[in-house]
Amino acid sequence: MFRVICKEPGYLNSRIFINIFLLVFFKVFILCSHVSAGDRTIIFYNEGSQSLCSFRVELAVTSEEHEKGLMYRKSLATDAGMLFVFKEDRAQFFWMKNTYIPLDMVFINSRLEVTGIYRSAKPLDETTVTSWSPAMYVLEINSGKADKCNIRVGSKIKFKNY
């Protein structure tokens, strides 16, 4: 029989816990450091699996990030956007309060299909924009980009570097 002798009760358990915590922390840190916000990409495809367009995206995951969105920004790069991530498919409600950039809003369900597009949301407008169809993701991009990229209801998406 093997017996571990420690100076303090629980010493071994706390050391194991600390080592596991550090291992997990550094693994997550290393993964996150390789995928910066600018490296996250969403790619749109048509029914024939041809790439239509891609956007570098910032993520809005928490309720605080959802609430702030692209507020107070004066510009957005042509290949950039903000991807709002929700826990489940449901009707989504947005507005343009304190948002200075005209935007297209692309609603995407958990099957990674475009379920709706709201084109040219007006800056500073507090009118509610509704997805009408359940969506788990909402991508905000510069106004006119959905049409330029030929993004339609039924277009598919893929995530890169998530």
Please list the alpha-helical segments (H only) found in 35-161.
63-68, 145-148
Residue 21 has pLDDT above 60, yes or no: no
Residue 10 burial (10 A CB sphere; 0-12, 13-18, 19+) = exposed
Out of 28-32, 71-75, 95-99, 120-124, least confident range = 28-32
**pLDDT of 128:** 96
Contacts with 80 (C-beta within 8 Å, 6 or more apart), sequence order:
55, 56, 57, 58, 141
Q: How many CA atoms lie within 13 A of 94 on its CB side?
A: 34
Is the pTM for the entire model greater than 0.85?
A: no
Of 83 and 48, the structure prediction assigns the larger pLDDT to: 83
**pLDDT of 20:** 56
Q: What percentage of the chain carries pLDDT values higher than 90? A: 71
- Across the chain, mean pLDDT equals 84
DSSP, collapsed to helix, strand or coil, labels residue 126 as coil
Residue 29: pLDDT band with limits 50, 70, 90: very low
Residue 126: pLDDT band with limits 50, 70, 90: very high
**pLDDT of 157:** 97
Residue 35 has pLDDT above 60, yes or no: no
- List of domains in the chain: 37-160 (2.60.120.1140)
